[in-house]
Amino acid sequence: MLENGMAAPEFTLLDKDGNEVSLTMFRGKKVVLYFYARDNTSGCTRQACAFAANYDEFKEMGVEIIGISKDSAASHKRFAERNSLPFILLSDPERRAIEAYGVWQEKKLYGKVSMGVVRTTFIIDENGVIERIMPKVKPDTNAADVLKYLKGEKM
């Protein structure tokens, strides 16, 4: 179980264009790493679009946004183009990062139990240390809550 103050697990995954992206590439920058279930689902789309709508503010603060799901790089490319997403989306079909970050969990929906990605956001500091874990976030408020936290405002 990951906790605040622990080193963030390293990963290297493919982005929507098939390029390898590693967490270490962002040392010296704060990273908002969010895990979501699937491209083009209503909640995941709303969450991604909220990060996109606030992207300029994140960039002004020197913060990198990275979204990770099990979807393919090709799916991420379509998702990003359809929704004008300016940030990095990484493909994790083998669930390496998803499991390393502990977000592959049992979920219950309408009485049905299954395994899946629990929507979770990690704020990683400039040294690669987990600064804040936001579990079971709401897609409509996640981006705003992250901004409030980064600005030191009450959430």
**How confident is the model over 122-146, as pLDDT tens digits?**
999 999 999 999 999 999 999 999 9
Quickly state the pLDDT bin for 155 (edges 50, 70, 90).
low
Active site annotation includes 49: no
The active-site residue, picked from 21, 33, 44, 63, is 44
pLDDT digits (tens, 9 = 90+) for 36-84: 999 999 999 999 999 999 999 999 999 999 999 999 999 999 999 999 9
How far, in Å, CA of 132 to CA of 138, rounded?
16
Residue in the block written with tokens 């103050």: 5
Kindly report the pTM of this predicted structure: 0.95
Helix (H) or strand (E) holding 49: helix 42-53
Residue ranges and CATH numbers for the domains of the chain are: 12-151 (3.40.30.10)
CA atoms within 13 A on the CB side of 134: 24
